[in-house]
Amino acid sequence: MKLLVINGPNLNMLGIREPDIYGRQTYQDLVSYVNQICAQKGIACEVFQSNHEGDIVDKIQAAYGNTDGIVINPAAYTHTSVAILDALKAVCIPAVEVHLSDVNARESFRHISYAGMACEKTYAGFGFEGYKMAIEYLEGKNNL
Ligand code: DQA
């Protein structure tokens, strides 16, 4: 099984940005966490981060035909990007949305998720653990 984990803008600043909301663990800690979970499960996984919407669209398109599942935290693009929504719909790869924080308990502009409309599940407010939940959901589907 092959997974693609995509992280959007400013997630590379984890550990520095708003630690009261996102915690003190760094982006590298997140990458190690995800890689460790996938390694334990024998899942091949690529973890990608970009601050650029078009690069994220390109990455989703490049996954077509070679990836079994996408875990995506589009960060701020969650709430603005029809392009990411359309890319996820175009490739038809099972996708799960993750947010470190509980977006529905924050400002109202964070309550809309375009990317989420193309995702089978959303895990928000579980910190790093949300990525594990998303991986396990996709792993479960793949084993059906
Ligand atoms: C986020 C929530 C978004 O609203 C925000 O713009 C982010 C991170 C999260 O993981 O909680 O950058 O996706």
Task: Give me ligand 1 centre to Cα 100, in Å.
Answer: 7
114 a catalytic residue? no
Dump pLDDT digits (tens) for 14-66.
999 999 999 999 999 999 999 999 999 999 999 999 999 999 999 999 999 99
The dihedrals phi and psi of 33, each to the nearest 5 degrees, come to -60, -50
Q: State the DSSP code for 99.
A: E
Please state the domain extents for the chain: 2-142
Give the H/E segment covering residue 120. none
Give me the CATH code for the 2-142 domain, please: 3.40.50.9100
Model confidence at 143, pLDDT cuts 50, 70, 90, reads: confident
Q: State the DSSP code for 70.
A: E
Neighbours of 42 (CB within 10 A): 8
Statement: residue 144 has pLDDT above 80: no
Q: Is the CB of 101 under 6 A from ligand 1?
A: yes
- Measured CA to CA, the distance from residue 77 to residue 53 in angstroms comes to 7
